[in-house]
Structure 1
Amino acid sequence: MTPQPAAVDGEVFRQAMRRLPTGVAVLTTRGPHGMTINSALSVSLDPPLLLVAIGHRTRTHGLLAHAESFTVNVLGAGQRALAARFAGRRAVGEFGGVDWHPSPVTGDPVLVGSPVSIDCRIDRRIEAADHTLFLGAVRHVHSTGGASDPLVFADRDYRRLAEEPVP
């Protein structure tokens, strides 16, 4: 029998994952409700599927447990304040003063100024420890068509991508 490695401490894992840069988005659903996430992942192109991981202790988790859809609003580098507004474990961001319109496909909020917003119908909910993975069937993509300068999160702070290509 092969010996099993010792369990990794959650804080050690958290410190390691801080080094992995991720894109920043605001997940929205009807209400309107919103939450900053950095857990969006393209799963499949055929059919188009998008996955988001939402912690059980967030208010958004309770809302998505009964929702039919969600929209992932990708944020640009100039939208740091918007990301901060919808951030926090218990956050269900306030929409007062935020420009948005309902998606014609799902009715979920599409944030004005987001370079890309992706409407999804919840296809599956998968329990994974202290999170639920919400697998969304992509129904519509709203794009401004502008240049991409995404907001990135790494090492506990919002950042921009460097313009220099890697040799």
Structure 2
Amino acid sequence: MHGPAESGWLLAALCAGTGAYCLLRMRSGVEEQRRTAGGEALMGFGMAAMAVPAAVFAPPAWAWGGYAALFGAVALRALWAARTGAHHLHHLVGALAMVYMAVVMAGTPAGGHAHGTGIPLLTDGLLLYFAGYVLLAGARLVPVPAVAGASGAKGWGDRPELARACRLSMGIAMVAMLLTM
């Protein structure tokens, strides 16, 4: 995304770190968690690639179409998966937001700023959605008392609090990216 280089690098690092952790979560013994972690890893790495400051690396014009196609396919998969659970609707909204940002960036002159080039009502709606998601995800991180008899030995892929923190960081990154639109 276009904007100050420092914030772009921080955003890219946050998203890449989140994507890397999601790859670790793919080692879970629960298939649904592995599938969800794979989709979140793709989102994290895709967001990291889009967040690299344009002053440092301006992707070729065709790259934005590639992002739109990739996340369009992710959106179709999330739409199909939404038949079985509401969490997939969030993945659908996230993938469609990535498609929207890629299309807007494709129409932005190289090295220019995307600010003001998107559809304001759509951008505002996505900002409201992701801001609400961030608040809800943050509230879910508030510690709760441990359940008696709960197993303390969990693998990296089976730690729900870390998965929530991962989703929270991607939600915050999505808000930051949408603010540049």
Normalized against structure 1, the TM-score is what?
0.25
User: Which structure's residues are more often helix, by fraction?
Assistant: 2
Question: Higher strand fraction: Structure 1 or Structure 2?
Answer: 1
Greater RCO, CA 8 A, separation 6+:
2
TM-score of the aligned structures, taking structure 2 as reference length: 0.23
